[in-house]
């Protein structure tokens, strides 16, 4: 056998190994795909799964495609949390415990002044646990985001909110697991993004591009703005699924991406630390604008950290399985939007992933 023949055989063997490895890396989600086709799962636009830094599944549905910019709604909030950490790393804020009002001194005097508002910190806003009467889940809340959108000055709207109280049927903060209550407040997150703009002297989208997205190789992103031109850090950013995966991989690697420490590791840890119970009946906690879920699978408890938004948009980060999962959807304002995306993740994706072997008994 001559040298060229040996080279051809060697290359063929290498190609075969490569194809086998590629095939092994793929997972099959045929049952999920059937349910999407039958519209049992409605409005799903993409599912993308990465494990051990390898792409294991990628599919687009309902006329979507890889270059589509998905409106991820409130999943944007989790990105704003990352950006606050970047702002601290730039020396723009001392810590998350820094008071909010001094950053907005040009808005003073504010309405409904009270002691807890004067000492309100960015940490309070990042935990959805501020003293402001602001709850998007309550139609009658003074701070409901739909009321904010009718105003020209969103900063002033949030700063002027009255003090939150506990209704007679509620549980006082000191009796709750973390000693504080949870109230989902988009306006508070908008204020965090506005503060970053004020301190950095850059629109939030430009700050994000320079200090987060460019290092990840993400270039195709759009962000909405308030009537006064302030970028809305509380929701509505548009990302490609393949770029959301990069953000998730960076979070999974404690701020590292492609060998570079993009976000301080201690800030990633801080964002993913349990700080308040968001939904006690479902055992869902909250960190700094990141949801913390637990799923029972294969006799194990799997913790998943998530950026989540209206429509059923999710970025799941699963350290136990070294996996990142993106689900984008357009089922906006429907009663099933979150339930079906969580079902896709827990009932279809999780069982299909490679699981570590249980630890041997000592």
For 130-189, write each residue's pLDDT tens digit. Answer: 999 999 999 999 999 999 999 999 999 999 999 999 999 999 999 999 999 999 999 999
User: Residue 222: is its pLDDT beyond 70?
Assistant: yes
Evaluate whether 121 touches 311 at the Cβ level (below 8 Å): no
Instruction: Report the candidate in 139, 132, 137, 145 with the shortest Cα–Cα distance to residue 101.
Output: 132
Longest dimension (CA), the chain: 89
Segment among 7-11, 184-188, 189-193, 204-208 with least mean pLDDT: 7-11
User: What's the CA dihedral at 193, 97, 86, 287 to 10 degrees?
Assistant: -80
Q: Which range is least confidently modeled, 25-29, 85-89, 284-288, 327-331?
A: 25-29
Give the ranges where 99-185 is alpha helix by DSSP (H): 115-118, 122-126, 145-148, 154-159
The CATH number of domain 28-163+176-352 is 3.40.50.720: no
The model's pLDDT over 49-108, given as tens digits with 9 standing for 90+, comes to 999 999 999 999 999 999 999 999 999 999 999 999 999 999 999 999 999 999 999 999
pLDDT at 24 over 90: no
Residue ranges per structural domain of the chain: 28-163+176-352
């Amino acid at each position: 056998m001559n040298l060229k023949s040996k080279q051809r055989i060697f290359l063929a063997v290498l190609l075969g190994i490569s194809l086998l490895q590629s095939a092994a890396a793929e997972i099959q989600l045929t049952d999920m795909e059937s349910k999407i086709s039958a519209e049992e799962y409605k409005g799903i636009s993409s599912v993308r799964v990465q494990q051990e830094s390898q792409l294991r599944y990628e599919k687009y549905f309902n006329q979507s495609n890889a270059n589509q910019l998905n409106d991820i709604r409130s999943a944007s909030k989790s990105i704003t949390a990352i950006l606050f950490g970047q702002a601290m790393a730039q020396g723009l804020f001392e810590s998350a415990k820094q008071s909010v009002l001094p950053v907005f001194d040009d808005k003073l005097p504010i309405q409904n002044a009270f002691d807890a508002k004067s000492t309100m910190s960015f940490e309070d806003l990042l935990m959805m646990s501020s003293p402001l009467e602001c709850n998007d889940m309550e139609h009658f809340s003074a701070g409901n985001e739909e009321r904010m959108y009718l105003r020209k000055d969103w900063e002033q709207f949030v700063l002027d909110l009255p003090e939150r109280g506990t209704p007679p049927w509620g549980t006082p903060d000191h009796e709750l697991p973390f000693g504080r209550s949870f109230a989902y407040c988009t306006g508070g997150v908008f204020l965090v993004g506005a503060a970053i703009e004020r301190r950095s002297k850059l629109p939030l989208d430009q700050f994000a591009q320079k200090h987060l997205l460019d290092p990840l190789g993400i270039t195709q992103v759009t962000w909405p703005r308030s009537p006064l031109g302030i970028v809305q850090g509380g929701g509505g950013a548009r990302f490609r699924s393949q770029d959301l995966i990069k953000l998730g991989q960076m979070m999974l690697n404690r701020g590292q991406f492609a060998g570079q420490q993009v976000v301080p590791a201690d800030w990633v840890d801080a964002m993913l630390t349990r700080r308040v119970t968001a939904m006690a009946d479902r055992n869902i906690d909250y960190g700094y604008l990141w949801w913390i879920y637990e799923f029972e699978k294969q006799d194990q408890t799997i913790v998943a950290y998530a950026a989540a938004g209206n429509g059923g948009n999710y970025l799941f980060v699963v350290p136990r399985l070294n996996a990142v999962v993106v689900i984008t959807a357009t089922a906006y304002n429907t009663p099933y939007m979150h339930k079906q995306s969580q079902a896709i993740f827990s009932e279809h994706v999780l069982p299909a992933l490679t699981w570590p072997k249980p630890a041997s008994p000592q």
